[in-house]
Amino acid sequence: MTAEPISAPAAPAPASRALTPRSLLAGDLMLRPLAQGDEPAVAEALRDPGILRWAAGRAVTEAPEGERARRWLEPRLAGWAAGNAWFAVTQAEQGVLLGALSVREVNRLPDQAVVTYWVAPSARGRGIAAKALDAAARWAFAGAADGGLGLHRITLDHALLNTASCAVAARAGFGTEGTMRDYYVDTTGLRHDSHLHARLATDGPAPVG
């Protein structure tokens, strides 16, 4: 997983990087912008050691348990304005947060972005992350006339130990491009070799699609 910011988010991005919040349908799933009301579900998810180790970021893991959800949510609610699209992944008709997904750093490198994701333990085993990731990638690749971001290349990374995330990436059409040595530092300070995966706008449909 791409290293999360260690402290508060960086200074606001130029207005040109701001993204318009929107929702995406992915079969029976709905990706919608995170909301303040997601805090209890986020707090529950942040009890999971896997999310804390691979996806929460140090600003969260170093906070007292009772403050972690707020520390996680606050900068992400402001994310769209800074070029980071943060979605709650929900069951379409219910709206309760099952997981979270970001399309971050949009156009930090021209026509590129980075994706990150987690799924709450109670919602795992149903392929939710791959479905959500595929929908987010298709939106990010779509042209502006179709409501998309018009990107060309989207990347993700995961520690080699995180084989579930590797399977998610492959199912969502993100091929492995190589291994980045000692790339990810986990919450205990351990360094992990990580896979870099990428999907291009010109790639064919994902296996999950």
Ligand X SMILES: CC(C)(COP(=O)(O)OP(=O)(O)OC[C@H]1O[C@@H](n2cnc3c(N)ncnc32)[C@H](O)[C@@H]1OP(=O)(O)O)[C@@H](O)C(=O)NCCC(=O)NCCS
> Which is closer to ligand X, CB of 85 or CB of 128?
128
Pairing of strands 153-159, 112-119: parallel
Candidate segments 70-78, 80-88, 126-134, 174-182, binder of ligand X by CB under 6 A: 126-134
In degrees and rounded to multiples of 5, residue 103 shows phi and psi of -115, 100
| Cβ count within 10 A of residue 133 | 29
Pairing of strands 97-104, 85-91: antiparallel
| Structure-token pair, residue 4 | 């999360």
Among 87, 117, 141, 183, binds ligand X (CB under 6 A): 117
Helices (H) and strands (E) in the chain, counts: 6, 8
Give CA–CA dist 121/98, Å, rounded. 9
Candidate segments 14-22, 73-81, 102-110, 124-132, binder of ligand X by CB under 6 A: 124-132
> Which is closer to ligand X, CB of 160 or CB of 200?
160
Q: Does residue 58 touch ligand X according to CB under 6 A?
A: no
Applying CB under 6 A, what is the total number of residues that bind ligand X? Answer: 23
Among 41, 42, 51, 82, binds ligand X (CB under 6 A): 51
Among 71, 104, 153, 171, binds ligand X (CB under 6 A): 171
Q: Does residue 50 touch ligand X according to CB under 6 A?
A: yes
